[in-house]
Copies of this chain bind each other. A is one copy, B any other.
Amino acid sequence: MDFISEQRLDDGVVERAFRLGEIPGFLWTPASSPAGPAPLILAGHPGDLDRMYPRLLARARHAAAAGFATATIELPGAGVRPRSAVAEQARADLRRAVTAGEPVSDEVVDRLVLPLVEAAVPEWRAALDALLAVPGIGGPVGFSGGVISIGVRLAAVEPRIAAAVLFAGSYVPRAIVEEARRVRVPLLVLLQWDDEHNDRQMALDLFDALGSPEKTLHANMGGHTGVPQHAGDDAGRFFSRHLMGAA
């Protein structure tokens, strides 16, 4: 992991841009160093760091105010990273179905999401290895955000993930719903009830399938990007409850 820039923001949060091999990423750390190393939140997103930067930064500032470090990396096939012909075709097929008002087939969802999960999850785990070696960054680790299938796989296979806030806002392959039964860490699932990019019943089925004994669903009105401030506050309290006590 190579740090390529560092700046202190107006609220004292330190932002570092890095590269993990070819993969760009950001690390934000709180203004004041707490007693020990800061617990880390991996901030998931749908891809394209340039476009997502303002929202990711807002989430990182919010988390920093509660003592958390936040890190994110670019997704495979997004932003400056090479496109995948398979994913581009699947995305075009999905768009065509949605535009035509047709149901999106499981086959298209699998073709779009499963290779993304396969490629992304090892990268997030490698990022985790590197991030936990940075001075001042410690465990426990949370995952927050989307793509929800990446979050589910990470929570299922990565033992360092101690809690997760999952944003239900993308298509979920049936195989991931099955995999969800293996997740055991505390979960908060955020669902936008009228999400234009999401199948509500699929999100409820995924929530039902998740194997965690402690899981909570927060559904709010509005579309994909209309998550209300109080839902973000809920996510912050969730991580404080599950990661700070254990720090």
A230 within 8 A of B: yes
Please encode chain A, from 149 to 172, with 1 for each CB lying within 8 Å of some chain B CB and 0 for all others. Answer: 000000000000000000000000
Contact between A221 and B214, CB atoms less than 8 A apart: yes
A29 to B108 alpha-carbon distance, docked (Å): 58
How many subunits of this chain does the assembly comprise?
Answer: 2
* Contact A219 to B221, CB < 8 A, known contacts A234-B234, A241-B230: no
Residues of B within 8 A of A207 (CB): 219
* Contact A193 to B208, CB < 8 A, known contacts A230-B241, A234-B234, A241-B230: yes
Q: How far is the CB of A122 from chain B (nearest CB, A)?
A: 31
Q: How far is the CB of A85 from chain B (nearest CB, A)?
A: 40
A126 within 8 A of B: no
Contact between A217 and B214, CB atoms less than 8 A apart: no
A204 within 8 A of B: yes
A7 within 8 A of B: no
Q: How far is the CB of A221 from chain B (nearest CB, A)?
A: 6
Residues of B within 8 A of A231 (CB): 216
Closest to A212 in B: B221
Contact between A218 and B217, CB atoms less than 8 A apart: yes
